[in-house]
Copies of this chain bind each other. A is one copy, B any other.
C-alpha cells in the first residue's frame, strides 16, 4: 500500500466505480497500478461455459493487478467491484518512478507480493494433492488467521461463496462441511460454520 500523499504526488487519479463494474479484464494489457481507497474488489477467472474461479478479494488499502506491470504481461484474471468503490490509478511509468525514488515502498511491495506468492503456492498444493475437506479447512483457517478473533470464529461466507473460493461445487462444499463437523474439525451453529 502506497501512502495517499505519495501516490498523488506521482500523478495518480482517483476514479469512482459503481458496484459490479469491471476494472480490467483477463487478457488485457496492464497499464496502471490500482490501489483501492474504499470499497471491495473481486478478482476471478471465467471459462466460456461460465465456470468461475476466484483468485482473491481485495478491500480498502489493498493494491491489485500489479504483477503483469513487471514485464508487459496481460492480466491473468478479471477485476470487478462488488460495491461502490474509489480506486487510485497510477500509470505504469509513474509507478516505476515511484518505486525507484522510494526504496522502502519497493521493499514493502516485494514483501506483500511474496506473502501472496506463498499463499498461491499453498493453494496449488491443496488443489492437487489434498481432498476437498482439506482445501475448505485451509481456506477457513486462512480467513480465521486474518480475523481478530482467536476462537469461536464465525465464518462470514455462504456455502456458495466457499464454493467459488475453492473451485468446488456447492453440493460438494455442503457435504464436505458436514464431514468436517463429524470429525470435530469445525462446528455448525445455527447453519453458520464456526471454528
Question: Interface readout for A117-130 with B: 1 if CB under 8 Å, 0 if not?
Answer: 11011111101111
Contact across chains for B70 and A114 when beta carbons are under 8 A apart: yes
Query: Counting CB contacts under 8 A, is A19 at the interface?
Result: no
Question: Interface readout for A74-118 with B: 1 if CB under 8 Å, 0 if not?
Answer: 001100000000000000000000011001001101110111111
Alpha-carbon distance A166/B128, docked complex (angstroms):
8
Minimum CB–CB distance for A48 against chain B, Å: 10
- 13 CB-based A-B contacts, threshold 8 Å: A45-B129, A47-B129, A47-B130, A67-B115, A67-B121, A73-B118, A76-B121, A77-B125, A103-B103, A103-B106, A106-B107, A113-B113, A113-B114
Contact across chains for A128 and B53 when beta carbons are under 8 A apart: yes
Q: Please tell me which one of the listed residues B53, B99, B117 contacts residue A113 in the complex, with CB atoms under 8 A apart.
A: B117
Minimum CB–CB distance for A171 against chain B, Å: 16
Alpha-carbon distance A29/B97, docked complex (angstroms):
34
Alpha-carbon distance A24/B114, docked complex (angstroms):
18
- Chain B residues contacting A69 (CB-CB under 8 Å) are 114
Query: Counting CB contacts under 8 A, is A28 at the interface?
Result: no
Interface size class of A (residues with CB under 8 A): 35 or more
**How many copies, total?**
2
Main secondary structure of the interface of A (DSSP, over half): helix
Contact across chains for B167 and A121 when beta carbons are under 8 A apart: no
Query: Counting CB contacts under 8 A, is A66 at the interface?
Result: yes
Query: Counting CB contacts under 8 A, is A4 at the interface?
Result: no
Question: Interface readout for A34-71 with B: 1 if CB under 8 Å, 0 if not?
Answer: 00000000000101000111010000000000111111
- Chain B residues contacting A109 (CB-CB under 8 Å) are 110
Contact across chains for B117 and A116 when beta carbons are under 8 A apart: yes
Contact across chains for A124 and B67 when beta carbons are under 8 A apart: no
- Chain B residue nearest to A43 (CB atoms) is B121
Contact across chains for B120 and A121 when beta carbons are under 8 A apart: yes
- Chain B residues contacting A71 (CB-CB under 8 Å) are 111, 114-115
